[in-house]
Amino acid sequence: MIKENNKTCAIIGAGVSGIAAAIRMQNKGYTVTVFEANSFAGGKLSQESKNGYRFDMGPSVFTMPRYVDELFELSGKNPREYFNYKHLDPVYRYFFEDGIVLDAYHGKQRYAEEMAKKTGDTSETILKYLNRTEEIYHLTADVFLHNSLHKFKNYFTRSVAKGLLNFGKIAAFNTMNEVNKKTFTDKKLVQIFNRYATYNGSSPYLAPATLNVIPHLEIMEGAYYPEGGMYSITSSLVKLAKDIGVEFHFSTPVREILTENLSAGKAVKKIKGIRTDNGSFDFNVVISNMDVYNSYLKLMPGEKKPQKTLNQPKSSSAVIFYWGIKKEFKELGLHNILFSENYQEEFNAIFEKKSVHPDPTIYINITSKHTPSDAPVGCENWFTMINVPNNSGQNWDQLVVDARENMIKKIDRVLKTGIRSFIECEMILDPRLVESRTSSAFGAIYGNSSNNKFAAFLRHANFSKGIKNLYFCGGSVHPGPSIPLCLLSAKITAGLVD
Ligand SMILES: Cc1cc2nc3c(=O)[nH]c(=O)nc-3n(C[C@H](O)[C@H](O)[C@H](O)COP(=O)(O)OP(=O)(O)OC[C@H]3O[C@@H](n4cnc5c(N)ncnc54)[C@H](O)[C@@H]3O)c2cc1C
C-alpha cells in the first residue's frame, strides 16, 4: 500500500494546508502519502448535512483565491475545470442594536462612501485609513506571509529588508483599538475595524495594529464565494491531489513520528518515518499538518520541545449553532454580523475571564443565499457563531445552553423576529469538539493568539530545528491561520524541503 522509492513524503493530516503540501511535494517529484485521522478530508474546512440542510462546518469567508488556483496551475491543470468562485459585493452586512444597518462593499471608494453615509466619519478619513492598511500590507507581506521568518538568509532579501527597515511604519507598537480609536470618531467604525482581530482569534485591545492589514485583503482585494460552498475548496484540492498521484489513507491516525540518529554517535536526529495502527512505515520526509503543540506532545513525547513557542497563549475558539431555519430572511445576506453593545467587555470575557459574554457579537452565515440547494425551498441554513475562549475546562454544557438563550434573544431584538419557532434542526460545535475533531490544542481555532506584538515571531517555524527532514504546515505554525495563510504555509514548507 505504501510505495517505496528514495523520495517519499508522509503528510500527517488532510487539513487544507496538508492537502496543499501534498500537492506541492508530489509536484517536486516525491511520492506522497497523506494520513488522516478522520474518515474525511478538510479538517476545519469540512461539511455536514442534516434534514435536507448542508452546512460548511468551519471557514466561511474566502479571500485570496489565487493561492488555490496556484495549486492547479503548478500541477499543469486548469483551475476552472475543478473549482469556481464568484466575487462578493457587498461582502458583509453589519447590524447594530440601535437599528443602523451598514453594508460593507468591495473597493475602497465605494466602501468609504457607503460607510460615511451612515456614520459620523467622512469618506476621506475612511479612505485614508484604507490606504494605510494597503501600505502596511505591501510592507509586511514578504516579511510575514511569503517567506520563512526563521531562516536567517531571508532577512537579506530586498523586500524583507525593506519591510524590516520600515518596522516603525507598521504600527507594531500600538494595539488595533488604539489606532482605530484615534482614526475614527464614530464608535461603529472603530468596532467594525476592531473586528478583524477575530480573524486570527485575537483581541483588538491587545493585538498589534499591524493586523489592520486584514481589512485591506477583504475590502480591496475582495472576498469570494466558492461555487457549491466552502467545502468545494477541500473537495477540488483532494481531487487534484489524487489526479496527480497523491495517496490518501483516511481513518488512519498517525501515532508516532519515528526518528533515528543522523550518523552513528551523533546526537543530531533525522526522520525515519511514521507509525500508525497498521504498522511503521519509512519515509524520507514527514510534514505534520497536525497542530504543532499536539505534534510534539502526542507524536514525539520523547523529543526535546521548543517550550517557549509551544507555551504561547492560544487563540479564541467558537460556539456555533448550525440551524435549519424554516423561513427566508430577505434582510440578511451571506455574511451578517450582529454587534455586541459592549465590545471591550466581550473580549475581556474571552481572554481574561475565559467565559462567554451575555451580549456576544453574532455572526450569521447563510450559504443557501448563493447555493439554494443547501436548504429546502423557503428555508435557510444558518451558521450562527460567537467567539468564545479556548477550552481550559470550563463547564461548556452550561455555557452553550446560556449562549444559545442569549443569542436567540439578541437575534430577536435586532431582526425583530421570534427565531426559536423557525429552528427545525440543529447541530452544535463547541471548543471541546474543535479539539476532538481536529486535534487543535485546547480547541483553539487559530493556534497561538496574536495578543502580543512579537506573536508573529513566536509561531513555530515550518521546520524542526532538531530533527532533519521534519516539517510543519498549517494554521498553528508560520505564517498563521486562515485558508490563504495555510496555503502559504504549505508553499513555504514545500519550498524548504531539499
Ligand atoms: C469555526 C471556524 C471558522 C473559521 N473561519 C474562517 C474563515 O472564515 N476564513 C478563513 O480563511 N479561515 C477560517 N477559519 C480558519 C481555517 O479554517 C483554518 O485556519 C484552516 O482550515 C486550518 O487548516 P489546517 O490545514 O491548518 O488544519 P486543520 O483544518 O486543523 O486540519 C488538520 C487535520 O489533521 C488531522 N490530524 C490531526 N492529528 C492527526 C494525526 N495524528 N494523524 C492523522 N491526522 C491527524 C485532523 O483530523 C485534521 O483533519 C475558521 C476556522 C473555524 C474552525
Mean pLDDT by 10 residues, the chain (498 residues): 74 98 98 98 98 98 97 98 97 97 96 96 97 88 74 66 66 89 98 97 95 92 97 98 98 98 78 98 98 98 93 97 98 98 98 98 98 98 98 98 98 98 98 98 96 85 96 96 97 95
User: Which of 240, 245, 125, 107 has its CA nearest to residue 186?
Assistant: 125
Instruction: Give the other-Cβ count within 10 Å of 289's Cβ.
Output: 35
- Alpha-carbon Rg for the chain, nearest whole angstrom, is 22
Question: Given the CA of residue 476, which atom of ligand 1 is nearest to it?
Answer: 26
Helices 123-140 and 108-118: crossing angle in degrees, nearest 10, is 140
Distance CA 151, CA 328 (A): 52
Give the Å distance between the CA of 291 and the centre of ligand 1: 9
Cis ω before 226 (30° cut-off from 0)? no
The pTM assigned to this predicted structure is 0.95
Q: Is 38 in the pocket of ligand 1 (CB under 6 A)?
A: yes
What is the rounded distance in angstroms from the CA atom of residue 494 to the CA atom of residue 185?
A: 46
Q: Which residues contact 149 (CB under 8 A, 6 or more apart)?
A: 143, 456, 457, 459, 461, 478, 479
Q: What integer pLDDT is reported at residue 4 of this predicted model? A: 55
9 DSSP β-pair partners: 32, 285
Pick from 482, 487, 492, 493 the residue to mutate for probing ligand 1's pocket: most ligand atoms within 8 Å of its CB: 482
Separation in Å, CA 99 to CA 186, 361, 365, 416, 485? 15, 15, 20, 10, 35
Ligand 1 touching residue 289 (CB < 6 A) = yes
Residue 40: alpha-carbon gap to chain centroid = 19
Count helices and strands in the chain by DSSP H and E runs: 15, 21
pLDDT of residue 405: 98
Distance of CA 44 from the midpoint of ligand 1 (Å): 4
Q: Which cell numbers hold the place of 340?
A: 455586541
Cα separation values, 125 from 177, 180, 189, 495, Å: 16, 11, 11, 41
If one counts every other C-beta atom within 10 angstroms of the C-beta of residue 264, the result is 5
pLDDT at 266: 65
Cα separation, 101 vs 331, whole angstroms: 10
CA of 243 to the centre of ligand 1 (A): 23
Between CA 7 and CA 165 the distance in angstroms is 40
Grid coordinates standing for 115? Answer: 460607510
Choose which residue among 225, 289, 295, 361 to substitute to test ligand 1 binding: the one with the highest number of ligand atoms within 8 A of its C-beta. 289
Length of the chain (residues): 498
| Helix 231-243 vs helix 16-27: crossing angle, to nearest 10 | 20
**Would you say 11 and 24 are in contact if contact means Cβ atoms under 8 Å apart?**
no
Span from the CA of 24 to the centroid of ligand 1 (angstroms):
18
